[in-house]
Structure 1
């Protein structure tokens, strides 16, 4: 690997002979003078996210590869664990990175979406990309993005999407930081996803279900084929339990590429699980050994499954495709420092607030199964917002048995389902007496807090679920409340 910072010497704005780069571009065109780091971050974030979300599954690989080629192909130097699936891929990615970091490796972690700052998506050694590094690397990346945009415009093509830009940014950051391994979470799908420019030594497939059906054609088999596209020739594949039709497709893809496969149940398993305050204690059997009494500070049996998948992936990476045992103290330390913000995240208080980013029926079902681990009170009030491209009715049907009341709201996202529209469905599913509306996430949380503890004898809780953007705004609300000197969660006087 090149030494830290050497990537900047390959910047196209400093290499006039690099093909495809306009000679009239200067790095100063992309400098942000006179701004604080916070202001510069907001400017960069605006430039990235004003590009809008990706529309449909198209091949994102070619443009990302072209941009990386202009930057000297920094991703070729990275050792990668590539993670896809429908649910659990972010938690699995985070646990994988945490274990590898505990072994002493320098790690990169690429996940999505973010809750408060886009730098959360690009982590190095467990910390979001530093603002200084963000600004310095943006000087290298921005001219290349401009070049790709201009070349696309010549043939009436679109600009690079925000996720394509973030993928380039992340891979450049990991090479520049000289990481030993990068854990890369897929955005949507797999084969045609922007992240599939990497060659993963290990491909991880968390549970695959029917999601993004409006984006990925072919139903569940089509989704499974798309996600199996991250499997590379000669790689190792670790998969959580899958439906039979999904497992068959994964096996066929792995066989065609000469990849070895390691399956939950056949090669690894959860031998024991017990719920304890603050999480759960697991005994995990892997391809190399058995790890007894491992504390995982996350709630839910689905997080136990994610922990098993993550540990198996780490063994395969460290053993170059063959499971290699990891010191038990290292594993314990890795899991102990693992976190998964917005995944059955419990904020103590009166009432307790539980936040989960489940945003499809499969995720809501997993939440329902795990909720008793985190909440045993008398009354639970939901705060729900759903994006317009999601199965709102399926989400509400899954939440109905869990909640005494539900407060319907919308987030600031342009894709948010209008409150009144979502409330119509909620009243049909919950009944009109159990449904309330609020104009914003903040007012929804205030109302839910009041409802949860309306009677002094009631032990109440607030469940926030339905979209990742909702969790991000709830995080901001709670953080601002703490900064103002209040408890993260407490009754609000009417």
Structure 2
């Protein structure tokens, strides 16, 4: 307290910070009280109503829109990083988050600040309530958590303002809430089976849903796909008058070699070749993500007709991070986390582990959600895991460890499987097994985004 009896500046600042933290907690709780993102109606009606009431903020900036089954978040981060290196201010929307809701909405590479997040919520909340009320009258559920986050993101990007937003879909494409924006560039990473309950039981059905982000006049940048997917994408582009650029035809990966801290790649873009790029993430799949990202940026900046400055591209890729994607979070023993949660992701993880690491022994720390193909994921990973510690995360959707242990025992044999229900104890057990006998062992924690996030937190890693 100052001599005048008034709070001094330090006390006032502390009080203000406390108020912000309290309000931030209230906002987060209000958002999380909504239905989860996988509890959704296949419709854009509600999010369109909110956007219209807000004055359509998603029209205030150009958008690069991404869909696919795996690789979306990494590719989104790569695109956004290249755009920043070109001097553009960016908005980035990704999902799910690892530790904090605010990670989903990034401004120029950093999670949206607490004050800006609160301001966006306060701007949007009255209109969410209006549409929720209209939905109740029509006998429909209120907007879910993901839809609300999309509204906040677009409002925040318009308010910043940003030069360009790089937006990852949550589920699918055509009726995903992000699709109220029209992407100038539409990106499709490889399509495989996932979320069949919501998107369809075949790759063709899923591809039809995902191709819905390709809008009239857009440039579509398409990663390597199955032939049936390619045809569906071509049909969509012809229907709406979009131009397509395919990996393996107009652009692609020329070479990649394992390097210290990642890999050295060379890429053929839409408008030129880009040799000797250091990419500080692991796996051939990430090299392909980089090729897609580079083509997307070329398409956005010059319609795919103008090459980018090589040194700018090198600097951009050198600054890429992809938290939770074959990320080393501890040494001695090495602990890696990876968010692989479906068979296609498990294949990429297995191949990357074989390619980039030479551990004498690898212990898997595995927790998988109940609605995922646990048996298939474990079968894919079996050749690269010497032993498995089965556990669970805090997610209410987590598979019971006893059930997952039985599935694992059928694949690995009982002598290679240990069940430890508590995640913290399971991590200690896996680390001890990897360290036993002084071998050069490592722990791979995988099975879901939640698994990667909670192991990161247990090891004190919360940055993204």
Match of 2:419 in 1: 437
Is 1:464 the counterpart of 2:445? The answer is yes
Does structure 1 retain, via aligned residues, the 8 Å contact 2:174–2:211?
Answer: yes
2: distance between equivalents of 1:46 and 1:274?
45
2: distance between equivalents of 1:103 and 1:153?
46
Match of 2:165 among 159, 176, 182: 182
Deviations 1:178-235 (A, max 9, x none): 1000000000100010110001000000000111112212511000000000000010
Aligned-partner SS, 1:410: coil
Does structure 2 retain, via aligned residues, the 8 Å contact 1:346–1:374?
Answer: no
Match of 1:214 among 183, 197, 201: 197
Match of 1:365 in 2: 347
Give, in angstroms, the shift of residue 271 of structure 1: 1.1
Aligned-partner SS, 2:394: coil
Match of 1:130 in 2: 113
Is 1:350 the counterpart of 2:345? The answer is no
Aligned-partner SS, 2:70: coil
Give, in angstroms, the shift of residue 372 of structure 1: 2.7
Q: 1:354 to 1:97 in 2, by over 3 A?
A: same
2: distance between equivalents of 1:67 and 1:294?
42
Match of 1:3 in 2: none
1: distance between equivalents of 2:59 and 2:112?
20
Match of 2:132 in 1: 149
Match of 1:49 in 2: 32
Deviations 1:344-371 (A, max 9, x none): 1123411111111110011000111111
Match of 2:207 among 224, 229, 245: 224
Aligned-partner SS, 1:292: strand
Match of 2:177 among 173, 186, 194: 194
Deviations 1:425-457 (A, max 9, x none): 11111111111112222111111100101112x
Match of 1:479 in 2: 460
Match of 1:334 among 312, 316, 321: 316
Q: 1:52 to 1:411 in 2, by over 3 A?
A: farther
Match of 1:171 in 2: 154
Give, in angstroms, the shift of residue 34 of structure 1: 9.6
Is 1:385 the counterpart of 2:367? The answer is yes
Give, in angstroms, the shift of residue 323 of structure 1: 3.5
368-377 or 350-359, which deviates more: 368-377
Give, in angstroms, the shift of residue 42 of structure 1: 2.4
Does structure 1 retain, via aligned residues, the 8 Å contact 2:295–2:304?
Answer: no
Match of 1:396 among 368, 378, 400: 378
Give, in angstroms, the shift of residue 35 of structure 1: 5.1
2: distance between equivalents of 1:348 and 1:115?
17
Give, in angstroms, the shift of residue 56 of structure 1: 6.0
Q: 1:34 to 1:119 in 2, by over 3 A?
A: closer
37-46 or 77-86, which deviates more: 37-46
5+ residue gaps, structure 1: 1-32, 484-494
TM-score normalised over the length of structure 1? 0.88
- Aligned Cα RMSD in Å? 1.6
Give, in angstroms, the shift of residue 177 of structure 1: 0.5
Matches within 5 A, 1:72-91: 72-91=55-74
Aligned-partner SS, 1:454: helix
Match of 1:61 among 14, 22, 44: 44
Does structure 1 retain, via aligned residues, the 8 Å contact 2:35–2:143?
Answer: no
Match of 1:160 among 135, 140, 143: 143
Match of 1:116 among 83, 99, 112: 99
Give, in angstroms, the shift of residue 122 of structure 1: 0.2
Give, in angstroms, the shift of residue 255 of structure 1: 1.1
2: distance between equivalents of 1:34 and 1:131?
10
Match of 1:451 among 433, 436, 443: 433
Q: 1:36 to 1:454 in 2, by over 3 A?
A: farther
5+ residue gaps, structure 2: 1-15
Is 1:422 the counterpart of 2:428? The answer is no
Give, in angstroms, the shift of residue 47 of structure 1: 1.2
Deviations 1:230-289 (A, max 9, x none): 000010000011000011101111111111110111101211111101011111111100
2: distance between equivalents of 1:209 and 1:59?
20
Aligned residues: 448
Matches within 5 A, 1:407-418: 407-418=389-400
Give, in angstroms, the shift of residue 40 of structure 1: 2.5
Give, in angstroms, the shift of residue 155 of structure 1: 1.7
1: distance between equivalents of 2:141 and 2:135?
6
Q: 1:437 to 1:98 in 2, by over 3 A?
A: same
1: distance between equivalents of 2:269 and 2:153?
31
